[in-house]
Structure 1
């Protein structure tokens, strides 16, 4: 009788193991089929498994790998589309001022311009050359910012004094352009961690954006401590930004229909936001058309 019981138990476990093996073989077959489907380009295909199956952990890990791979592919496709858009914009934005510049210089070289007009032609050519240089500088700045080799040199700085030193170079420009200005910076030290060149670029880009595009007659720059953050507010009374544009204003290559001159690159504010975020800060914007635009930059306060 004991032998019979043992034989029955062995037979039972044998049947169980055989059934498990058949199940595993089926699961492996399903996994192979799913992987072949994924290899063929169906990134939405997943390997199905329940928690109690022997291959469940393997299936879940493979699904996670496929998901991560598909996410990378999606990002690459988006980057490829953005790069194509960037190259299309570049071909227009670089070719147009370059063609104009060559046209003016050729006209002078061929002698088709009256002597009294040559100075005007040279001045226009000079301005076009500077516009082209500014655009190329912004473009290289963008590529550098998004390259794998880009890094910031973060250090503890006194932000009010640093901002004061940056803005003093803008005062003659404000006065030259008859732009009324108010600069209100605290006398008490406000410490933050920042990259010196990066921070200067943020402030300079925001001020330059106002001068180039806002048609403002007034600009106000303030700094204050707000709980655990330092807040920098830059306000102008220019033409403002339409509500439909506000949500896109920091996107690469985005240009508002209103208030953007022909030489705008669509990269300046995108660079500003990326630079701020790389320094652990953030930026907001509010605007009312024909009344004001209000940029606010926040950086963590070092206590």
Structure 2
């Protein structure tokens, strides 16, 4: 889609240049020519990509407003060359070879730009030969998203491969009758555990994909009582709570309603509380706060007395598949906090993390009021 858009822009520029050339050659009234030039500038200034025109000496003849803002070009630009502006060997090479069309990425002042360069040859209204058109499109965020997707699929493939390999291995032992009769129950349980892990991983991947997609789900949102969500979450986690002998302390305002996709808040509550229990010491306490503050924001806070997080790792705990050093052996999909992060972003909230190794972690979610 971006490529088609850039090509359309290039065709538009070429068309405008040739039209202006034609107007000039026909010796049409100077006022009409000047008006045409102004219209030409207005069109290029309205385009949200950087556009630069160079003459046959590779000197800058024209640039639009977006190029000025992006490249900080001096208004006294008549002696500027492409080499002086970009300082990039790839661009220099294209200008030198006069290639008809070239597309590539360049890094410029910490950002990534997709560069389209078109070589033409025509006499234009500026009394120079327009030799080269350069179009720059900032693709920094798009490249980050692409890299994130690649990393995600690489991690997901790795995470799915481990349980799948285990299932195949155990199944082969059974099919080859290499298991003693009294070991069958244990093997079946292991196969079930690995299949369950795969199922949970696929479910979390699906939820994360939905949260990251830009879709209008307003019609599917409904008001829910958050105390009901919290009670349901604690009921689901009750076996885990009893297993670790965790004391749950709740400070909650009742009758807090929130307009949302119910699954979003269910997963947010469950992932945060489950994490707190998972990384808590046996017999310790987990404090849960569910309140509305004076700004009518919903405050959901979970505080544990667990292993804590080092300061240099706090910024990474919401990344997909990231595990803190001491938590790598704990079971889980590695996507729980990533789901929390994207849920909070979806509802335009904020996340605060306070943690000390060996003391515990407090994660506070603030969600804006909904109507």
Tell me the TM-score normalised to structure 2 length.
Answer: 0.61
Runs of 5+ in structure 2 lacking a partner?
A: 1-29, 41-52, 56-60, 64-80, 83-90, 96-100, 116-124, 127-132
Q: What does residue 126 of structure 1 align with?
A: 192
Counterparts of 2:258 and 2:300 in 1: how far apart (Å)? Answer: 12
For residues 234-254 of structure 1, give each alpha carbon's deviation from its aligned partner in whole angstroms, at most 9, with x where no partner exists. Answer: 111111111111011112332
Q: What does residue 219 of structure 1 align with?
A: 286
Q: What does residue 302 of structure 2 align with?
A: 234
Runs of 5+ in structure 1 lacking a partner?
A: 1-13, 47-53, 56-61
Structure having the larger proportion of residues in helix: 1
Moved more, 249-258 or 126-135: 249-258
Counterparts of 1:224 and 1:262 in 2: how far apart (Å)? Answer: 30
Counterparts of 2:276 and 2:329 in 1: how far apart (Å)? Answer: 12
Q: What does residue 262 of structure 2 align with?
A: 196
Taking a change above 3 Å as real, the CA distance of residues 101 and 213 of structure 1, as seen in their structure-2 partners, is: farther
For residues 202-224 of structure 1, give each alpha carbon's deviation from its aligned partner in whole angstroms, at most 9, with x where no partner exists. Answer: 10111222344445543221222
Q: Residues 165-176 of structure 1 correspond to what in structure 2 (within 5 A)?
A: 165-176=232-243
Q: What does residue 87 of structure 1 align with?
A: 153
Moved more, 284-293 or 161-170: 161-170
Counterparts of 1:43 and 1:285 in 2: how far apart (Å)? Answer: 34
Q: What does residue 300 of structure 1 align with?
A: 368
Equivalent residues, number: 264
Q: Which has the higher contact order (CA 8 A, sep 6+)?
A: 1
Taking a change above 3 Å as real, the CA distance of residues 150 and 266 of structure 1, as seen in their structure-2 partners, is: farther
What is the DSSP-based 3-state SS (H/G/I as helix, E as strand, rest coil) of the residue aligned with 1:94?
helix
What is the DSSP-based 3-state SS (H/G/I as helix, E as strand, rest coil) of the residue aligned with 1:241?
coil
Counterparts of 1:301 and 1:212 in 2: how far apart (Å)? Answer: 30
Counterparts of 1:202 and 1:117 in 2: how far apart (Å)? Answer: 39
Tell me if 1:275 matches 2:275.
no
1:193–1:302: 8 Å Cα contact kept in structure 2? yes
Q: Using the TM superposition, give the Cα deviation of residue 74 of structure 1 relative to its aligned residue in structure 2, in angstroms.
A: 1.9
Tell me the TM-score normalised to structure 1 length.
Answer: 0.73
Q: Using the TM superposition, give the Cα deviation of residue 263 of structure 1 relative to its aligned residue in structure 2, in angstroms.
A: 4.7
Structure having the larger proportion of residues in strand: 2
What is the DSSP-based 3-state SS (H/G/I as helix, E as strand, rest coil) of the residue aligned with 2:236?
coil
1:144–1:150: 8 Å Cα contact kept in structure 2? no
